Every structure is written in C-alpha cells, then in structure tokens.
Amino acid sequence: MQFPAEPFKIKVVEPIKKTTRDQRDHLIRKAGFNVFNLPAESIYVDLLTDSGTSAMSDNQWAGIMIGDESYAGSKSYFNFERSIKSIFGFKHIIPTHQGRSAENLLFSITLTSGDIVPNNIHFDTTRANVLHKHGKPIDLVIDEAMDPDCEHPFKGNMDTTKLQTFLNETEPDRVPLVMMTVTNNSAGGQPVSMENIRQVRAICQKHQRPFYIDACRFAENCYFIKERESGYADRSILEIARELFSYADGCTMSAKKDGLVNIGGFLAMNDDALAEKAANLLILVEGFPTYGGLAGRDLEAVARGLQEVLDEDYLAFRVGQIRYLGEMLDQAGVPFVKPVGGHAIFLNAKDFLPHIPRHQFPGQALTVALYREAGIRAVEIGGLMFGEKDEKNHQEKYPELELVRLAVPRRVYTSTHMNYVAESIIEIYKNRDRIKGLRLMYEAPLLRHFTARMEELD
Ligand code: F0G
C-alpha cells in the first residue's frame, strides 16, 4: 500500500473541532438522523461532497485579489475564456455560477416536451433539468456498472450497443443530444475510456446527433485514461483532455469539482446559433455573458484552477489518496464498490449491514453510525435518495444499489485524515451488528433525502 504524500504544503489552516460521542448522539437525534441537518461545525472529517469544497492554491488566492469586477469585458473573463479554450477547445464559453445552471441553459435551448436524452448515467441535477423541460432522461451505462464487485477498468462507459439500438428505434428529432458524464459520478466515480468516447462520437455522427460531455471530473477521468488505456501512458493530461473534448460538440462543467474552486461553472459549445441563444438566456437568468453569475474574482480563480488540476503530481496524489483509503478498507474486508473511483469511496451498505432490511434504510443507518461513532459525514445514495412509491401498488421501490459515498474534497485533508477515516470505519464494521435501522417520519414530495426526518428503530 503506497502512502500518498501531499504535493503541497500548508500555508493557511482551518481548525476543525473534535466532539464527544455523547455530543454527537445528541446532535444526530436533533437532526432527525439526517446528516444534512447537522451543523457543519460539529463534523470532524466532512466527506459529504467533493463539490465546492476544494482548497484553493496561493496562486488562485492571488488571482482573487486582482479579479476585474467590470460589468462587461472584464479582464478576468478573458483569462477564464483563454484558460478553458486551451484545454477544452470549444468556440463559445458561457460562464455560469455552477454546473446545474449550465445544464438548465443547455436543456432550455435544445429540449422540447417529450424529447429523450441518453447519458451513461445522468447525475441527479442533470436528470432533474431534463425532467424540468418535460424531457425523458435515459441511462445507457454498461451492465458491469451495476455490479459493485466487477473490476472493469472503465466502468463508466456507455453501452454502445444499447445506444445504437436506441437511436435506430427513435425518431432523430426526439433526441436533441447525447450526453456522457466523465467520470461517471452515480456509478462510483468510474471513468470512461477514450475508445468509448470515440465510439459514441461515431454513433452520434452517424445519426447526426450532437454529443455533449458533462465534464465536472474530466481531469480525474483523463488521469485514469493515462493509467489504464493503452497508448496514453506517455501523453500529458492536457493532451488527453484535448483529444477527449475534440470528439464532442460541447460540454457542461461544474468548476466546483475539477476547477478547484468553491463556486463556478460554464457551458461550452461550437454551434454559433445555439451559443447565441444560450447567451441571451444567460443575460436573463445569470448575468451578462462576460460574468454569468460570478464575480470577476471567481472567474480568475477558475482560470487558474483549471490549469492546476492538469498537474500530474496533483492527480497522482488525488487519485492515490482515495485508492489508499480503499486499500485500507479492503484489507479489513469492508465492502465497497470496486474498483475505487476518482473522487470517492462508495461503501456497499447492503453487504455492510445485511441485518437491516431495505425499508429500514441501511445506507442512511450507516451514515448515522459514521457520524455518531467518528464525527465523519458521508452521504447515502440508496433507498432514501432514490426510493419512490410504485404508482400502481403504492409500495416503495428501491434502487438496485444501496451505497454510502465518502467523497474526498480536493487538497483539503491529509493522508493522516484518511488513516483516521479508515480506522473508524473498520471499527464500525467490526461492531456492525449494533447498528439499527431507521423509520421515515417526514418526507418532502421531491428530493426527500435533503430534508427527511427519521427515527431509530429498536
Ligand atoms: N454533474 C455531475 C456529474 C455532478 O457530480 C454534479 C454535482 C453536477 C453535474 C452539478 O454541478 O453542483 O455545480 O450544480 N455534484 C455534486 C456532488 C453536488 O456532490 O456530487 P453543481
């Protein structure tokens, strides 16, 4: 097991609090057994998300100081545009305040009611934005993605046979675009291969459908291509990224991930007419096209973050740190999705807590245990997040996988924190029989996991 040494030193520190088990027991009860309701101050290691939680570099902070706050034509916008074009290569760069607003713009200008959008797996906000425009999101990921133990090197790949069949059987006008999410967050942060991107591109060309990439974790994906795909070992991450985006017509991006910033995103595309529509809508909902819902200083931080994320020492550390956590858990037999993805470990709660039935939310019960025993915050991606009532028999339907995601913020925690997380989880695993199931007491009609309140069962 290789201890990944940090390729940076610490210039500013943010104290984190240690609490007692009694304090955490009190707090989690008060929070209705939902970690979204906890005060962040009471958390020791926060692995709720890797989005917007990165630590910025001294160079990014320096950029913040010289951000140009001009309403129109800001110097920082041109730096932002230049930085993005140097990697992504698209003709039009439209700044947004985060990823979901780029998705909203894209689907607002391309989708009409009843249209269908294929993706390997839509992230929640992408799915919700398609639905919001009365479209239908469909997921065509390879079957291996649904098997937590399958060690496929590119488990995020699109099933090209399924895509081909879908496009053969569907009226082309009903498919405004085909999308691919890299890395594939919902399947465990799993990468997509260049070969798969190339094939999807060829299928899209054959059917004359535009091809867009959800690029949030593109640098992590490119690092996996370099490591695992033949022919890429000697190529730089920048070269790999340029090739990857050369196959697409555009992308949506949440810079809160591989942009290494706390807020920011963009929509990019080559189509002139579509870009004009996007910019006009942007003015209405986000802001003028040279700031799009961001401050000039934010644009400057994104411009710099996108260059830093291409650094191979950084990526080796980033991917290595998560792999290291995975290896420690694996040695103790803790069940999680294999192989380890780019931004998170996804614990397999069904196997972790086989004594808790699905209707008692084993994934959520595990997030409660992680917080109560160790002050670690993770997120359930299972029956609470995706469970829904069957329209016919009103029974709850559960998603196939019941996972708990430990998403690691970028450049925030040291590998010693990872040791702490691994040791805590291994201890919890040894005492897993003591963990109890939960019952739902309150649920909102949509996205219930954010605000649900629960009760612990005896
Ligand atoms: N696409 C993917 C693959 C994502 O993971 C996210 C966000 C988005 C789009 C939306 O970006 O948050 O900037 O609007 N994922 C976060 C997460 C929230 O925790 O995985 P956003």
Q: How far is the CA of 57 from the centre of ligand 1 (A)?
A: 22
Q: Last residue of some domain: 308, 334, 351?
A: 308
Residue to substitute in 185, 221, 379, 381 for testing ligand 1 pocket (most ligand atoms within 8 angstroms of CB): 185
Considering the domain architecture, whether residues 337 and 352 belong to the same structural domain is answered as: yes
Residue 100 Cβ inside 6 Å of ligand 1? The answer reads yes
Residue 49 Cβ inside 6 Å of ligand 1? The answer reads yes
Average pLDDT, the chain: 96
Q: Last residue of some domain: 308, 328, 363?
A: 308
State which ligand 1 atom lies nearest to the alpha carbon of 217.
Answer: 3
Three-class SS of the chain: CCCCCCCCCCCCCCCCCCCCHHHHHHHHHHCCCCHHHCCHHHCCEECCCCCCCCCCCHHHHHHHHCCCCCCCCCHHHHHHHHHHHHHHCCCEEEEECCHHHHHHHHHHHHCCCCCEEEECCCCHHHHHHHHHCCCEEEECECHHHHCCCCCCCCCCCECHHHHHHHHHHCCHHHCCCEEEECCEHHHCCECCCHHHHHHHHHHHHHCCCCEEEECCCHHHHHHHHHHHCCCCCCCCHHHHHHHHHHCCCEEEEECCCCCCCCCCEEEEECCHHHHHHHHHHHHHHCCCCCCCCCCHHHHHHHHHHHHHCCCHHHHHHHHHHHHHHHHHHHHCCCCECCCCCCCEEEEEHHHHCCCCCHHHCHHHHHHHHHHHHHCEECEEECHHHHCEECCCCCCEECCCCCEEEEECCCCCCCHHHHHHHHHHHHHHHHCHHHCCCEEEEECCCCCHHHCCEEEECC
Considering the domain architecture, whether residues 80 and 169 belong to the same structural domain is answered as: yes
259-284 tens-digit pLDDT: 999 999 999 999 999 999 999 999 99
Residue 126 Cβ inside 6 Å of ligand 1? The answer reads yes
> Within a domain: residue 269?
yes
Considering the domain architecture, whether residues 290 and 320 belong to the same structural domain is answered as: no
Considering the domain architecture, whether residues 294 and 369 belong to the same structural domain is answered as: no
> Within a domain: residue 6?
no
pTM for this prediction: 0.96
Residue 209 Cβ inside 6 Å of ligand 1? The answer reads no
Residue 254 Cβ inside 6 Å of ligand 1? The answer reads yes
What domain range includes position 211? 58-308
193-227 tens-digit pLDDT: 999 999 999 999 999 999 999 999 999 999 999 99
The domain that holds 428 is classified in CATH as 3.90.1150.10
Considering the domain architecture, whether residues 299 and 322 belong to the same structural domain is answered as: no
pLDDT at 129 over 90: yes
Considering the domain architecture, whether residues 319 and 366 belong to the same structural domain is answered as: yes
- Which pLDDT score is estimated for 392? 82
Considering the domain architecture, whether residues 72 and 165 belong to the same structural domain is answered as: yes
- Which pLDDT score is estimated for 390? 77
> Within a domain: residue 285?
yes
170-180 tens-digit pLDDT: 999 999 999 99
Residue 123 Cβ inside 6 Å of ligand 1? The answer reads yes
- Which pLDDT score is estimated for 445? 83
* Confidence band of 35 (pLDDT split at 50, 70, 90): very high
Atom 21 of ligand 1: nearest residue by CA position: 99
> Within a domain: residue 2?
no
What is the number of structural domains in the chain? 2
* Confidence band of 236 (pLDDT split at 50, 70, 90): very high
Q: How far is the CA of 394 from the centre of ligand 1 (A)?
A: 30
Atom 16 of ligand 1: nearest residue by CA position: 51
